[in-house]
Structure formats: C-alpha cells, structure tokens
Amino acid sequence: MTYTNFTLDTDAEGIALLTWDMPDRSMNVFTESVMEELDAILAEVVANDAIKGVVLTSGKKDFSGGADLNMLKRMMAQFEAEKTRDPGNATKLLFENAGLMTGLFRRIETCGKPWVAAINGTCMGGAFEISLACHGRVAADSERVKLALPEVKVGIFPGAGGTQRVPRLADTQAALQMLTTGQTLTPQKAKGMNLIHAIAAPDQLIETAKKMIRDGLKPVQPWDEKGFKIPGGPVYSAAGANLWPPAAAILRRETNLNYPGAAAILKCVYEGLLVPFDTALKIEQRYFTQILQTTEAAMMVRSLFVSLQELNKGARRPAGVPETKFSKIGVIGAGFMGAGIAYVTAKAGIPVVLVDRDQESAQKGKAHSDTLMAEQVKKGRAKPEDKEKLLALITPTADYAALEGCELVIEAVFEDSTVKKAATQAAEAAIGDTAIFASNTSTIPISALAGNSVRPDSFVGIHFFSPVDKMMLVEVIRGEKTGEKAIATALDYVRAIKKTPVLVNDTRGFFVNRCVLKYIAEAYRMLIEGVPAPMIENAAKFAGMPVGPLALADEVALDLAQKIMRQTVRDLGEGAVEADQLKLVDEMVDRFDRKGRKNAKGFYDYPAKPAKKALWPGLKDLYPQKAPEAVDFDELKKRFLFVIAIEAARVMEEGIVTDPREADVGSILAFGFAPYTGGVLSMIDGMGAAKFVAEADALKAKHGAPFEVPQLLRDMAKSNDTFYARFNPYPPEKEAA
Amino acid sequence: MTEAYVYDAVRTPRGRGKKDGALHEVPAVRLGAGVLSALRDRNGLDTAQVDDIIFGCVDPVGEAGSVIPRSAAFEAGYDFRAPGMQISRFCASGLDAINLGAAKIVAGSDDIVIAGGVESMSRVGMGMSGGAWYMDPSVSLPGWFMPQGVSADLIATKYGFSRDDVDAYAVESQKRAAAAWDDGRFKNSVVPVKDVNGLTILDRDEHMRPTTDMQSLASLNPSFVIPGEMGGFDAVAVQRYPELEGINHVHHAGNSSGIVDGAAAVLLGSKEAGAGLGLKPRARIKAFANIGSEPAMMLTGPVDVTEKLLKRSGLTLADIDLFELNEAFASVVLRYIQAFDIPEDRINVNGGAIAMGHPLGATGAMIFGTVLDELERRDLNTALVTLCIGAGMGTATIIERV
C-alpha cells in the first residue's frame, strides 16, 4: 500500500523502515490523516508475515512536533457544538476522542511485532509518546534531538500515555519533575533517565534501530511483563512516603495551584501507578478529558501556542514589503540597553556596529557580550569558539561613519531629547537612504522623536525590555508618520533575533509600561490602606505574577519612580498621580534613603548573600496596620489582575494595541501576567465581559477609580462580546487565503 | 439519663520508641494485654461483664492489626464474651475511645466498657498505615497537608513564640515530670511491664531527661528546616497564611513529644453496673466533643474544641481546675495558654509528652488517668483533657470527681 504521510520500505531481513514525511509541511505533526494511516500501517504490519519488525523514523530534519493543535481545536469545537445539544453525550464524545491516540499507541505496543523509534531530531509531545510506546528507542547523538513532553506549558498534559509510561521507565521523582515542568531532555539525559535505550551517531541511527530488532528485541513492554516493578518503587513504600507529600507541596509552591493541568499530572501518576497499565491509561484519559474542558487549557493553548507562533512568524507584518536580510546593524549607545541589543543581534549572527561617544565606552558595551558568553560557556550552553565568533561580530567605535551600509540602526542613548536628537542626526548623516532608524525609547513618544529625523517615514520605535538577553518581548512602535517598510524591517529584525514582537501605536508608556505602572500603583494603594506588606507581595504571586509589585518597584528603583511621577505631574497636572502615592515614594526616597535594590534598601532590605532579601520591617510603621484576618486576601489577588486587565482593555479602546493576540502574548512575555489566564484580554474573555464588568464595578465601589472600566468593556458586556470576536485577528478573507 | 463513671485508670510506663528502648522486646498486643490484666486484677473484674473493649491505635498494621484489643483480650485471658474494637482519631484515639465508651453507656447499649489505647512506635513505626491524607494529591492539596513539625513551627511563627519560648516550656515539662515521679504521683496508675517470669522489664518512663536546661536545648538544630524548605511545606504554610514572609523553625527533638511505646486503659461503667460489681466511682464524664480545625496549622484544634465544649457544657474556663493538653509540640501548649490566658500552674502540672513521650493511640487515655490522679491528690473537682490531632482536629473531655 502507499500512504500520503509515510513510506514503508521492508528490507531483505523483513525489517520495515517506516518514514514519516508529511507533504507540504516542514515539521511532522499528528493529524487525523496521520492517525488513520498509522492504523492502516499497523494492520499491514500485523497481517504481512514478511515484516518482522518496524523502525519508525522521520524524513525531515526533526522527528515530529507532536499533535497538531488544530486537531485539538476541531475536537473542542465538536465538543462545544454537541454540548448545546446534549451535554452528557458531548462529554462522552470528548472522552472517546481524548483516547484516540492512547488507543492507537497501545495497539502498536501490543501488536506482537517489535517497533523501534529512531529519533533523528526534535521529538515533542505526542511524538515522544508514540516513541515511548515503541519497544525500542534510539536517538541520534545530535544537538537537534530535543525530547520533551511540554504539554503542561500550554495548560494541558501528556494525554497519550505519557503520564503512565514515563514513571514506568524512569524514577518516579524524575518522572514527575519532567512531566510537571515540561522540561526538554538531551539524548544523554533521556538515556540517563532510562527513557531511551541507545544513542547513535546520526548516520548510524537507522542501522542501530534495525540491529535492535535483528538482535531479537522482545515486542513486549516492561509493564506488560509478569512481575513488572515500578522503577521508583511502589507508591505505598518508604520511598513513596518520602516522595508524594513533598511532590504535592512543591507543585503548590511552583504553581500556586493556578494550573489544573499540572495538578492533574500528579493525580494521573499517583492513581495510575496503583493499578495495571490499561486501567492506568483509562485514568489518564479521564483526567485528560477533564483538563481539556478547563478555561486555562483553552486560553493557554491559544495564547502560548497558537498566537505566540503566529506572532513569531510575522502575523502582523505588512504584506508586500520584501523581507529584509540584515548584513549589518548599528546600535548607538553602549550602555546597559545598547550593550544588550548588540549582544542579542550578534547572537543571531548579524554583524553589529556599536557606537558610543568614545572608543572606551563603546568597548565597555562590547565587554557585556563577553561576560554573557563567558557565563554561557561556563554553564556548558556554548562553546569557547561560539564566544569568539560572537565577539568578532561586534565592532565598537566612536565613529558614526562606521554605520554606513546598515539596514537598521537602533538608538539606545540616554533618555534625553537633546541627546537623542544629536544621535539621530549624526546617524542619518552616515546611513543610506533606504536604512531604517529605530529608537529604543521607553518614555518619549516616537512621533515626537521622529521630528528630529529628516525622513520620519523611516523612523520607528523598537522597545526592548531589561535585561535584553532574557526578555523575549519587543514592542515595535508605529509613530504618526512611520511607514510600512519601517514596520516590516523592525518586525523582520525582531524575528531574526528570535524574539516576539508586538506592534503598538504611539502613546506615553506604549502598552507594557502602562500596565506595569498600574500594577505597582495598586500595591502602593494597598500599603497606604494598611495591608501588611507580605500579604501584598504574596497576593500578587499567588495570583500568578512572577515578581511581587514591591520587589518590582525596587528593581525599577524608587528614585526613578519618583522622577517619573513628578514628570507626569508636570506634564499632565496634579491629578495624574495620586498624592498619597507620591508622598509614599517621597518618604521612601527622601526621608529614609530607600531607593530600591540599587542601594540595597527599598521596600525590601537586601543583605549580602547568601542571606535572602526580606521586606523592610519599617513598612509596618508607615501606615496603621490592618489585622491579617481583616484583609480580604482573595480580593487583593483580584485587584492586581483586574487593574492590569482594565488598563489593557483601555489600551485596546484607544487603538494603541489593535490585535488581542499581541496584548495577551505581550502581557505574558513582558511582565509575566498570570499565564494560566492566557493573558490580559483572555482573562476577560475567559470570565465573560459581563461578569468581569460586574466584578470590576464591585471593586470600584470599594476601591475607587482604578477599577473604572472603559466604555468598550461595558459595550462588550452588553452584547456578550469577546475581544477575539470584536477584534478578530482572523478576518474571513485571511482565513480563505 | 444514665451517666458514665470512671472506676479505674492504668497505664504502662513509656519506653523509648527505638530499637534500644526497654519495651522494644515486648509485642504491641502484650502492652495492651498488660493494662487489661491490671484492670481486671485491681478491681476483681468479672470480664464476662465487659460489654466492649475499645482501643485507640493509630497504626493498626502488622502486629498491631486485626483489632488489637480483641487480640489483647485473648492474651490477657479475658472471657470470650468481652468483644473488642479498634478506632483511630490519630493522636486523640485514646481519649476518643473513652468518649465512645461513655457514649455507649449513656446510650444504654453498654454497661461496662474498657477504653484505652496502645502503640508500639518502636516495633510498628509511625506512619506505617499509610493513607490518602498525605499521599494522594487529590486529598493532600485541598487538605493543605503539612508535616506536623512544620505546622508546629507555623503556630510559633504566627503567634510569635521564639526559640527561647518553646525551649523554656520544654525545660519546664522535664522539671515537672521529674518532680512528679520523685513525689510518687504516678504510682497509683503506672503498671510495670513484666516478662513471662514476673521479672520487671520497665517500671518508669524511660524518655525523660530531667537535667535538660536551656543551654543543652540550644545546641539542637531545628528539625523541620529540610521538609520546610526543600519539601515545599514552608510555601504551603505561607500560602495558607499569606501575612507571613516565611516560617521560623523552632522545634526539635527536645521541645517536641517523644516517640515511645506504651498502653493505657480506663474502666468505665454506669452507676448501677459499677455498684453491681462492687466498684466505687472516681469521677464522672461530664462532657466531650470533637471538632475539625484549619488543617495547615493542624494543631490548634484544642483551642477550637475547648470553645465548643465549654459552650455545649455551659461551663466557663473558671470552672476548670486543671487542664491537661497533650504536649505534641511546645508551641501547641503555648498557643493554648495564650488563647485562654491560662495560668501556667493549672495546665500540665505534672509534665507531659515532651518529657515522657507520646505513644500516639494510647496518650489520650494516659493523660486522662494522670489528671484524674492529680484532681484527687489536690482534692479538686473538674479537669479538661484535650489533644491536638493530625489533619486538623481536636478532641476534649471534661471530668468531674464524684
């Protein structure tokens, strides 16, 4: 028989090489058609006496990325449709669908003939699960081979036997850690965990796999053998008693129980290891069915998988502008931001000219890359020659003329209009007419800065976050006169350095900083109300924020916050900043000399290592303290999420951000907004606008202006609208294309 | 209404709950048989008249399994008509056995009941019965499971008890226990454990360290830092009590209850049944109650159940002459004293489990007997006995001399 997605070649010794190579795709994924064909292939393998065993491999550079999430999308759409007709039957159907891959993989491992997975490259999710269902697993000794069950990161979990096969191969604790974090394994690490049998040189991969079969690989999995023992020991054993109680506690510590998918993994493994394998698969299927129905799963799959990929592939890039290949990029200003920009640019293999006022300053900026690469080498993530290669790409200079030939120049000088003006003019004198000039400003509107430029249509904002090497989001800012080519070039650049762009229109604070300021301001309000400081920080963290607002304020620096607040008052008038918040910051900075982490004294004390930072005890004396029992802790959590989401809705209403995917993905990547919600707007969509507005109104009655929702949300509440419907990023004509 | 009376109470001495402890050679069932024999022999009891034998046992597995009071009755040579049952309410099992026995008498189903408990921690081992409470994530997550030591440290952190506070309490417990032994205050209740030849194996609580002082305790490292930090339980505590930044670990082996072996039994009956057997009542069970309390802090159930019990019984704190609260951890007692502002000379006056040990299923019946003896010695009337309990519960009983 012939297949669309596979070829099946049986050699003289009866070993069939099953090569997965989907047409018109760069990566193999599980689709309905792949599943159907695998079923047919399995039947052929079983029926054909000439076939002794099967080696499963990929015809592409990578093995497979796992399940096609569009298949999941279709499954959920079918569920939602059936739910309106017959909820009971909908759940039953979903349960059956959730078990399709499980059933197929189980049939493979019990077919009576040996299967070996020959893993030549990235092997994720369902692909790793089918490999685990094979009787043998060989991986190529290659950096391309990355093995993982990453489902938990998008709100679901490995539901095709992964939660059962991994802890039946690896030690239970290692299995739980791998499953609950979605950790990526190298072949060496996977072999150490007993998840694969062998590692082979890439050109020996298939031969090694075939040899396993020739050597008499038994077509029976360990758990189907009589007398099988769980590698980590029985659940109810001394080892189990040391493992399970802390496993749950650590899960709570790491997730604050905001991620049902992660908790379900623990439940699957615990319950599954107490019963025979087929029963265990059924248990996994039940939990998988439950988790698929959670709001968290729907929102996380959309934002953290679908939207993230779309934005990374340039979903917002203006069509019709040819892609820019970068031969040279200029960075002006070799301070902390400029040095970071130079690093990430060189990391992408692009030559960088790093300009500062003198050679020494420019050289200092390059040294930052040296430091970062030295760390990478020390951690084994890079080789010494990678470091030399990267450093060779950065040319530090004080001569603007060196910018000649750059397709893009990014200015990251001091936040001062005069300094920026000089840099812009000096650069424009050196670069060609077609080059794009970008400013990394975080505080000055792009349209104002474009006034310094002789060609404002080539002027764009590219706003990085600190530290540049770690923060994955970049705001691309469209000024009033910014042209399509400038936008396209900026987006091409962000793609080249493998970061995620969001395209925002020009305004004070753009998108991200507006949200962050609201977050910190709400913490100030709580402090002023007399909420004990630990409750403020803990509320934010338990709500899913990665860093407490007071700790974040310390990182930003309180004297800087003071400057910004005063500037805001000067620009926008007295009412623009709440007086008692300004007074709080004034007291911290002027009276107590507490400027934040920079002087080791802020809302926290920062003692010398290894001591940990601790909240400054003096905070208790600033305002009369409420008794913890008198504080509605859940309301604190809600205030943080709501105040940010409301600001994000306002940003949408003002047209600063126009695509909900960008607001969602941006909020998660830039400031870690509670990822389980799917982001700032998905949180509102997930709750429903009407419920959100009602709860915001209740908060406003108690806590005032920050909870005033924009008219947009009231309109959405009335019409039962969602952001993804109202600002549909998939207009019908695009879908048809 | 029929009332339940207390006719006698006995206990074994407590042996160090390790392999080198004196009672490690004695099977758990024999500890139980010993106290059953003592009750029979001291009271000339016709065991055919015993309607039930209820023993608390927290880890009723292995040699302690299969309804250990029934087994103990066989070994003690009781009449076959005296049945047995084993119960568990963790650390309050021994007291709950008494309460259940009293309830059966009050209800009129039983006339004479023996209630108590047994635990051989050296032979069976703590936690050997397992359980979903701490193993199954579907239970441990909503149940806020924490190891008891971390919960005790949480109590200390939340209610402001320093390392010095808890150590000072431990030193006092040791002093009081030593003084009580020296003064012979336990001699009426403690029945030596003997071998098959009648030779004494143990006749005195083995766990005590009367020379303990602040200095010697100061040298001990806190025991629950590793489960707190590495095991994630400090984070569980902070999630439940977000007003805290972290947990101050203050408990160690010297200010926590000792792991020991032992058994205790109490003879209960109605007034008529006791009279029929020619027994003189020593006290009346006035009231008892159970409660569930916040499970992360876990060990503050005595405060909650005391409030409940006083309300139910119509008594006030002033009506209670002596309090007996199991010394699971020093912070448990300090919090109880703080919550009710109890003078220190009215609570645990003869020391407690920090000095003498806590044989889980037996302790409730042991401290019940201890406070009854002390009421008589001081010629006082009313005592309240209570214990903190795993998973966040509390049990309390009020007795009154007659």
Which listed residue (B207, B251, B252, B358) is catalytic?
Answer: B358
Q: Hey, which residues 177-236 in chain B have their CB within 8 Å of chain A?
A: 227, 230-233, 235-236
Q: Hey, which residues 86-125 in chain B have their CB within 8 Å of chain A?
A: none
Count of domains in chain A?
Answer: 3
> Does A341 reside within a domain?
yes
Closest C-alpha to A27, from A155, A144, A170, A173: A144
Chain A residues with CB inside 8 Å of B230's CB?
246
DSSP H helical ranges for A140-199 = 162-169, 172-181, 187-192
Last residue of a domain, one of A508, A528, A547: A508
- Residues A116 and A206 occupy one common structural domain: yes
Q: Which residues pair with B382 in a beta bridge?
A: B400
Residue A509 — pLDDT band, cuts 50, 70, 90?
confident
Q: What CATH number does residue A54 fall under? A: 3.90.226.10
Chain B residues with CB inside 8 Å of A246's CB?
227, 230-233
Out of B147, B233, B245, name the one closest to residue A614 (CB).
B245
Residue A73 — pLDDT band, cuts 50, 70, 90?
confident
Among the ranges given (A471-480, A500-509, B55-64, B153-162), the one the predictor scored with the smallest mean pLDDT: A500-509
Query: What pLDDT sits at residue A731?
Result: 73
- Rounded to an integer, the average pLDDT of A403-416 is 93
Q: Do B242 and A247 touch (CB under 8 A)?
A: no
Asked whether the beta carbons of A245 and B147 are under 8 A apart, the reply is yes
Is the pLDDT at B98 greater than 90, yes or no? yes
C-alpha A207 chain-centroid distance: 37
Compute the distance between CA of residue B269 and CA of residue B104 in angstroms, rounded to an integer. Answer: 10
Query: What pLDDT digit, counting tens, does each position of A611-653 carry?
Result: 899 999 999 999 999 999 999 999 999 999 999 999 999 999 9
- Residues A350 and A484 occupy one common structural domain: yes
Q: Do A249 and B241 touch (CB under 8 A)?
A: no
Query: What pLDDT digit, counting tens, does each position of A271-287 carry?
Result: 999 999 999 999 999 99
Rg (CA), chain B: 20
Q: What CATH number does residue A577 fall under? A: 1.10.1040.50
Query: What pLDDT sits at residue A548?
Result: 97
- Residues A479 and A626 occupy one common structural domain: no
> Cβ neighbours of residue A515 under 8 Å, at least 6 residues apart?
A644, A647, A648, A651, A667, A671, A673, A680
Out of A245, A534, A535, name the one closest to residue B135 (CB).
A245
Q: Do A252 and B239 touch (CB under 8 A)?
A: yes
Is the pLDDT at A542 greater than 80, yes or no? yes
Compute the distance between CA of residue B55 and CA of residue B117 in angstroms, rounded to an integer. Answer: 4
- Residues A97 and A222 occupy one common structural domain: yes
Chain A residues with CB inside 8 Å of B137's CB?
244, 247-248, 251, 263, 266-267, 270
Q: Choosing among A179, A270, A526, A632, which should be mutated to test the B contact, i.e. which has the most B CBs within 10 A?
A: A270
- Give the angle subtended at the CA of B292 by the CAs of B289 and B295, to the nearest 5°: 150
> Cβ neighbours of residue A179 under 8 Å, at least 6 residues apart?
A149, A152, A157, A158, A162, A163, A166, A265, A269
Asked whether the beta carbons of B82 and B48 are under 8 A apart, the reply is yes
- Give the angle subtended at the CA of B220 by the CAs of B332 and B177, to the nearest 5°: 55
Residue A737 — pLDDT band, cuts 50, 70, 90?
very low
- Residues A624 and A539 occupy one common structural domain: yes
Query: What pLDDT sits at residue A221?
Result: 98
Q: Do A267 and B138 touch (CB under 8 A)?
A: yes
- Residues A62 and A78 occupy one common structural domain: yes
Is the pLDDT at A473 greater than 70, yes or no? yes
Compute the distance between CA of residue B211 and CA of residue B178 in angstroms, rounded to an integer. Answer: 9
Query: What pLDDT digit, counting tens, does each position of A553-565 carry?
Result: 999 999 989 988 8
Compute the distance between CA of residue A90 and CA of residue A96 in angstroms, rounded to an integer. Answer: 10
Which residues constitute the domain of residue A158? 6-293
Report how far apart the first and last C-alpha atoms of chain B are (Å, whole number). 17
> Does A316 reside within a domain?
no
> Does A322 reside within a domain?
no
Average pLDDT, chain A: 95
- Residues A502 and A517 occupy one common structural domain: no
Q: What CATH number does residue A429 fall under? A: 3.40.50.720
Residue A417 — pLDDT band, cuts 50, 70, 90?
confident
> Does A300 reside within a domain?
no
The nearest CA of chain B is from the CA of A602 a distance in Å of 16
Q: Is B57 a catalytic residue?
A: no
- Residues A502 and A530 occupy one common structural domain: no
- CA of B226: which chain A residue's CA is closest? A246
- Rounded to an integer, the average pLDDT of A449-457 is 92
Query: What pLDDT sits at residue B62?
Result: 97
Is the pLDDT at A109 greater than 80, yes or no? yes
Q: Do B245 and A534 touch (CB under 8 A)?
A: yes
> Does A534 reside within a domain?
yes
Q: Do B135 and A235 touch (CB under 8 A)?
A: yes
Query: What pLDDT sits at residue A432?
Result: 83
- CA of A633: which chain B residue's CA is closest? B242
Asked casually if ipTM beats, i.e. exceeds, 0.85, the reply is yes
Is the pLDDT at A736 greater than 70, yes or no? no
B146 touches chain A (CB under 8 A): yes
Query: What pLDDT digit, counting tens, does each position of A422-440 carry?
Result: 999 999 999 988 899 999 9
- Residues A270 and A395 occupy one common structural domain: no
The nearest CA of chain B is from the CA of A628 a distance in Å of 6
Chain A residues with CB inside 8 Å of B235's CB?
249-250, 252-253
Is the pLDDT at A489 greater than 60, yes or no? yes
Asked whether the beta carbons of B372 and B349 are under 8 A apart, the reply is no
The nearest CA of chain A is from the CA of B241 a distance in Å of 9
Q: Do B236 and A266 touch (CB under 8 A)?
A: no
> Does A321 reside within a domain?
no
Q: Is B91 a catalytic residue?
A: yes
Query: What pLDDT digit, counting tens, does each position of B236-265 carry?
Result: 999 999 999 999 999 999 999 999 999 999
Which listed residue (B57, B91, B207, B252) is catalytic?
Answer: B91
Out of A249, A538, A542, name the one closest to residue B231 (CB).
A249
Is the pLDDT at A734 greater than 80, yes or no? no
Compute the distance between CA of residue A114 and CA of residue A523 in angstroms, rounded to an integer. Answer: 60
Asked whether the beta carbons of A58 and A131 are under 8 A apart, the reply is no
Compute the distance between CA of residue A343 and CA of residue A394 in angstroms, rounded to an integer. Answer: 8
Residue A391 — pLDDT band, cuts 50, 70, 90?
very high
**Which two tokens mark B114?**
């023996």
Query: What pLDDT digit, counting tens, does each position of B262-297 carry?
Result: 999 999 999 999 999 999 999 999 999 999 999 999
Is the pLDDT at A693 greater than 60, yes or no? yes
Query: What pLDDT digit, counting tens, does each position of B106-126 carry?
Result: 999 999 999 999 999 999 999
- Residues A622 and A709 occupy one common structural domain: yes
Higher pLDDT, A732 or B322: B322
> Does A323 reside within a domain?
no
- Residues A225 and A108 occupy one common structural domain: yes
Query: What pLDDT digit, counting tens, does each position of A22-52 carry?
Result: 998 999 999 999 999 999 999 999 999 999 9
Query: What pLDDT sits at residue A575?
Result: 83
Asked whether the beta carbons of B175 and B163 are under 8 A apart, the reply is no
Is the pLDDT at B67 greater than 70, yes or no? yes
Closest C-alpha to A265, from A385, A192, A183, A159: A159
C-alpha B81 chain-centroid distance: 28
Last residue of a domain, one of A474, A508, A542: A508
Q: Choosing among B140, B225, B230, which should be mutated to test the A contact, i.e. which has the most A CBs within 10 A?
A: B140
> Does A251 reside within a domain?
yes
Q: Do B242 and A253 touch (CB under 8 A)?
A: no
Residue A733 — pLDDT band, cuts 50, 70, 90?
low
Higher pLDDT, A509 or A84: A84
Out of A244, A250, A256, name the one closest to residue B135 (CB).
A244
The nearest CA of chain B is from the CA of A610 a distance in Å of 15
Last residue of a domain, one of A453, A488, A508: A508
Looking at the annotation, which residues of A are catalytic? 463
B233 in helix, strand or coil? helix
Closest C-alpha to A413, from A405, A403, A423, A404: A423
Rg (CA), chain A: 28
Q: What's the one-letter identity of residue B78?
A: Y
Q: Do B233 and A244 touch (CB under 8 A)?
A: no
Which DSSP string do the residues of A9-26 spell out, in sequence order? Answer: EE-TTSEEEEEE--TT-S
- Residues A287 and A333 occupy one common structural domain: no
DSSP E strands, B15-56? 15-16, 52-56
